[in-house]
């Protein structure tokens, strides 16, 4: 027995000695670091514990008593990028559907059932991707566009790789890229009027290189959140050409593609259509890179008033990404039940055409109510033609052009005027004083009331500043 014990102890010593010195130091260091932190979760977990949005708590508080026609003293919430205006039409279409028993089983593919991918491809091909054939095998369906972005950037970026994003931005992009992917969102102000888009991208890339970061991708939201504009086709193509020259991924976030409401605004055209149309003018070596580098994101949340269904779609011809998505989509899979329901709705061409037309009309009505009230109140804004946002400029009502003053105004709007907008700082605005108004989350009749409350507050602040 003693001999066996000695052998065992000797074996343990040999096993310990066999561990490389560097490895043992790493184990001790990791253990001591974890102990010194005395944290209930990992460092990754600590990142995730931080609020996704800086204004999320304010939104939850305002929801305790929202404005309604019956309670007109409630808070008017215009900080949520969600369209409720035409939700009842989709609800009516899907409420009577009876999914088959097969929906209780595992789907045929975790990255989207063949039927749902076929329906998505057909819808895209008939609307914002007109002019090309959309291959359903190039689509990935997951539980929302956020899930798509999370997995896509996890696949194309290493930790600390830079992702260029024209500002101002959708505030949740910061969390989308950082909390799990550990990418570095690099915000730069893209000036379409200035021209030389390639030069602007070179400057942004050089700034990242000085910090030791390589630019791995550009994330372009088009139609834009928070500005409600559509980038000019020439701008999109200049971005694409720069990416192809520099072997940089371009991710075109087109979740508002079918939400164009401007009276004289042509239909939105996807980046993938623009690029294939212009391919003949590109160098052959650049054309070869298009399938590897160009990715388009769209879905049901915005254009179809269905944020709760959690369906986001990726279009890519990158074979390696598609293969990896077969694995990763297991963690982000949209339920077979939901995909079946959406398939039935999307397969009805007449319904889709009617829905998009009615939704655009409702968006136009709300926008014109809001912009008209802003004009009457003398509040400057950037004219919009798509999505569901108005980018307003309240810089003249700040006592000083600082983020602290913007925050004080935002708090006064929320607490005194009972109006909740998204602060410009959260959108990485170029200077203090801008606010994003999300106007499709509330009934249209609430919008002039919100502006009236805001004007009353601004008049009082202007008077105080003058004194």
* pLDDT tens-digit series, residues 418-462: 999 999 999 999 999 999 999 999 999 999 999 999 999 999 988
For 411, phi then psi, to 5°, come to -65, -40
CA distance 53 to 63: 16
Which residues are CB-neighbours of 262 under 8 A, at least 6 positions away?
A: 364, 384, 385, 386
The pLDDT tens digits of the residues spanning 214-248 come to: 999 999 999 999 999 999 999 999 999 999 999 99
Closest by CA to 275, choosing from 302, 246, 255, 250, is 250
Q: Does the structure show a pLDDT above 60 at 116?
A: yes
Domain with CATH 3.40.640.10 in the chain: 98-348
CA distance 75 to 415: 9
* Sheet of 381-382, strand order: 76-78, 419-423, 434-438, 389-393, 381-382
Domain with CATH 3.90.1150.10 in the chain: 56-86+352-466
Half-sphere exposure of 102 (CA within 13 A, CB side): 6
Q: Is the peptide bond preceding residue 293 cis, with omega within 30 degrees of 0?
A: no
Q: How many CB atoms lie within 10 A of CB 197?
A: 22
Considering only 36-50, 187-201, 295-309, which range has the smallest mean pLDDT? 36-50
The pLDDT tens digits of the residues spanning 305-346 come to: 999 999 999 999 999 999 999 999 999 999 999 999 999 999
CA distance 415 to 412: 5
* Mean pLDDT of the 72-83 span: 96
Q: Exposed, middle or buried by CB within 10 Å (0-12, 13-18, 19+), for 17? A: exposed
The pLDDT tens digits of the residues spanning 185-204 come to: 999 999 998 889 999 999 99
Question: Do you know the residue count of the chain?
Answer: 467
Q: Does the structure show a pLDDT above 70 at 262?
A: yes
CA distance 465 to 228: 31
Q: Exposed, middle or buried by CB within 10 Å (0-12, 13-18, 19+), for 72? A: exposed
**Per-residue pLDDT at 413:** 97
Q: Does the structure show a pLDDT above 70 at 7?
A: no
Mean pLDDT of the chain: 92
* Mean pLDDT of the 84-90 span: 97
The pLDDT tens digits of the residues spanning 275-295 come to: 999 999 999 999 999 999 999
**CATH, range 56-86+352-466:** 3.90.1150.10
**Per-residue pLDDT at 280:** 92
CA distance 301 to 163: 24
**Per-residue pLDDT at 11:** 46
Q: Does the structure show a pLDDT above 70 at 255?
A: yes
**Per-residue pLDDT at 37:** 63
**CATH, range 98-348:** 3.40.640.10
Beta pairing partners, 382: 391
CA distance 159 to 127: 36
**Per-residue pLDDT at 1:** 41
Q: Does the structure show a pLDDT above 60 at 23?
A: no
CA distance 89 to 99: 19
Give the pTM: 0.90
Report residue 467's pLDDT band, with 50, 70 and 90 as the boundaries.
Answer: confident
The pLDDT tens digits of the residues spanning 96-106 come to: 999 999 999 99
**Per-residue pLDDT at 462:** 86
Q: Exposed, middle or buried by CB within 10 Å (0-12, 13-18, 19+), for 150? A: buried
């Amino acid at each position: 027995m003693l001999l066996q014990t000695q052998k065992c102890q000797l074996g343990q010593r040999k096993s310990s000695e066999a561990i490389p010195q560097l490895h043992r130091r790493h184990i001790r260091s990791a253990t001591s670091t974890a102990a010194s932190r005395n944290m209930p979760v990992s460092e990754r977990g600590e990142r995730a514990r931080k609020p996704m949005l800086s204004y999320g708590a304010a939104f939850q508080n305002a929801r305790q008593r929202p404005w309604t026609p019956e309670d007109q003293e409630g808070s008017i919430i215009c900080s949520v990028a969600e369209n409720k205006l035409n939700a009842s039409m989709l609800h009516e279409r899907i409420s009577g559907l009876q999914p088959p028993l097969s929906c209780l089983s595992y789907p045929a593919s975790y990255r989207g059932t063949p039927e749902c991918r076929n329906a998505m491809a057909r819808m895209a091909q008939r609307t914002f991707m007109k002019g090309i054939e959309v291959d359903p095998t190039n689509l990935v369906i997951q539980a929302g566009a956020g899930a798509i972005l999370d997995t896509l950037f996890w696949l194309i970026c290493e930790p600390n790789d830079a992702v260029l994003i024209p500002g101002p931005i959708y505030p949740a992009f910061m969390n989308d890229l950082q909390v799990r992917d550990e990418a570095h969102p690099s915000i730069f102000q893209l000036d379409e009027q200035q021209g030389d888009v390639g030069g602007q991208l070179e400057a942004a890339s050089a700034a990242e290189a000085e910090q030791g970061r390589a630019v791995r991708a550009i994330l372009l939201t088009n139609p834009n959140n928070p500005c409600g504009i559509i980038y000019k086709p020439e701008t999109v193509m200049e971005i694409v050409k720069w990416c192809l020259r520099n072997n940089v991924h371009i991710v075109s976030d087109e979740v508002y593609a079918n939400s164009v409401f401007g009276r004289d605004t042509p239909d939105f055209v996807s980046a993938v259509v623009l690029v294939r149309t212009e391919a003949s003018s590109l160098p052959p070596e650049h054309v070869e890179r298009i399938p590897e580098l160009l990715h388009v994101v769209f879905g049901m949340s915005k254009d179809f008033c269905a944020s709760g269904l959690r369906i986001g779609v990726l279009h890519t011809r990158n074979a390696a990404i598609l293969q990896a998505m077969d694995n990763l989509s297991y963690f982000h899979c949209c339920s077979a039940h939901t995909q079946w329901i959406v398939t039935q709705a999307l397969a009805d061409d007449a319904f889709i055409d009617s829905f998009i037309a009615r939704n655009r009309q409702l968006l136009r009505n709300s926008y014109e109510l809001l912009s008209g009230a802003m004009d009457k109140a003398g509040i400057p804004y950037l004219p919009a033609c798509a999505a569901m946002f108005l980018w307003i400029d309240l810089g003249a009502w700040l006592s000083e052009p600082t983020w602290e003053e913007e925050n004080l105004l935002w708090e006064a709007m929320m607490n005194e005027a009972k109006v909740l907008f998204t602060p410009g700082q959260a959108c990485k605005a170029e200077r203090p004083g801008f606010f994003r108004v999300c106007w499709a989350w509330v009934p249209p009749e609430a919008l002039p009331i919100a502006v009236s409350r805001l004007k009353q507050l601004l008049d009082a602040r202007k008077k105080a500043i003058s004194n």
